Amino acid sequence: MIIAKDLRLKQSQSDCSPDHGVATTPWFRGFSLIEVTVAIAIIGLMIVTTSTLLQRLPVSGDEVRDQDTALKVARTEIEVLRAGGYDALPASGPFTNPLLSSLTSGSASVTITAYDAKTKQADVRVSWVGTGNTARSMSLTTLIAQTSGMP
Amino acid sequence: MRYILTRGFTLLETFIVIAISVVALAALSNLFIIFNNTYGYQQAFMAGAGSASNAMNAIEAAILPADQVVASHSFSGTAYSSGATTLVLGLPSVDSSGNIIAGVSDYIVFYTSSTNLYRLTAAGAGSTRTSGLKKLSTTLFSISFTYDNVDFTKVTNVATDIVTRAQFKQQTVQSHLNEQVYLRNPQPLP
């Protein structure tokens, strides 16, 4: 607006016929409908983008908490397996943990495979359903040798 | 100085401008409200879920290297006893070159006071651990320590259960963590 006003002043100074005011020299024609619409559309787009971004933040917070919970479930199982030692290793299959109920459709399983003659490999996997019905999972792996375990 | 635009605005033009301003203002205030809610929720989330995770990590970091769960120990005059909501640990003192100092122990207690969870450390002479009090959580809802043996000197496993709760407007952010931690080198205190 300020620019337009300045231009108008310049125009009126160079135009040496002061009696012909606005009507004969409508130098500033205003904004066209298209210009205004485009400007409003751009502003609207910016606002919508920002609000979508902000609404996603709590979602990512929940995802982090779920991952942390799943990590704790897997860690506990690894600790139990390590403490139990080679001979006490269970067969492959699901295991329970009180934390699993705080995950949506949470399930956990352990897979025991032979790593070599004297070592077994334990894969602990925790699966759950994250926000937006996406399947999530995380897994931890450890090796347990025949001589391991707590006294 | 001469003003060129002299006819003013028509009523219709004014209405349109006001209408557009109202829409823009509504959109902006909506944005502000969303931002404010998000910020408040994040604060509550950090206070709740964040502190539960931090507290669990601190407890795990203390239990893993501990020698023993101690039934009771006096921390500069105040005695703390291990139980369902208090955990006293004796840990080997380690000097700056990484060697265990013979005959010296560090003591760490985790205890609660209303919704606060604290860690109090009393380092032995020459230990690299720093003595002092640290507040681990201000949103504690419940905590419980379960031991695998009634005799604290024989405990090798501590199951820790933490629930934190933070409130934001009508939303409650709750976080529940549970972990079994084994003392890696259980042995009598020096």
DSSP chain B: ---S--S---HHHHHHHHHHHHHHHHHHHHHHHHHHHHHHHHHHHIIIIIHHHHHHHHHHHHHTT-SEE-SEEEETTEEEE-SSS-EEEEEEEE-TTSPEEEEEEEEEEEEEETTEEEEEEEPPTT-SSPPEEEEEES-EEEEEEEES-SSGGG--EEEEEEEEEEEETTEEEEEEEEEEEE-SS-----
Tens digits of residue pLDDT in A81-90? 988 888 888 8
**pLDDT at residue number A21:** 46
Q: Which of B5, B7, B24 sits opposite A43 (nearest CB)?
A: B24
Q: What's the whole-number average pLDDT of chain A?
A: 80
Pairs across A and B, CB distance < 8 A: 78
Partner-chain contact A18 B179, CB within 8 Å: no
Partner-chain contact A150 B20, CB within 8 Å: no
Partner-chain contact B35 A61, CB within 8 Å: no
Name the minimum distance, in Å, from the CA of B178 to any CA of chain A: 6
Partner-chain contact B178 A47, CB within 8 Å: no
Partner-chain contact B20 A40, CB within 8 Å: yes
Q: Chain B residues with CB-CB distance to A under 8 A?
A: 2, 4-7, 20, 24, 27-28, 30-31, 34-35, 38, 41-42, 45, 49, 53, 56, 156-157, 161, 175-182, 186
Residue with tokens 């201000």: B138
Q: Which of A22, A44, A58 sits opposite B6 (nearest CB)?
A: A22
Name the minimum distance, in Å, from the CA of A51 to any CA of chain B: 6
**pLDDT at residue number A10:** 47
**pLDDT at residue number A26:** 56
Which amino acid is it at B93?
S
**pLDDT at residue number A53:** 81
Q: Which residue has the higher pLDDT, A147 or B108?
A: B108
For the cut 90, the answer to whether the pLDDT of residue B163 exceeds it is yes
pTM: 0.73
Tens digits of residue pLDDT in B169-190? 888 888 889 998 999 888 888 8
Q: From the centroid of its chain, how far is CA B64?
A: 19
For the cut 80, the answer to whether the pLDDT of residue B1 exceeds it is no
Stated as kind and residue range, the H or E segment containing A145 is strand A135-145
* Domain assignments of chain B as residue spans, ordered by start: 38-182
Q: Which of B2, B7, B27 sits opposite A12 (nearest CB)?
A: B2
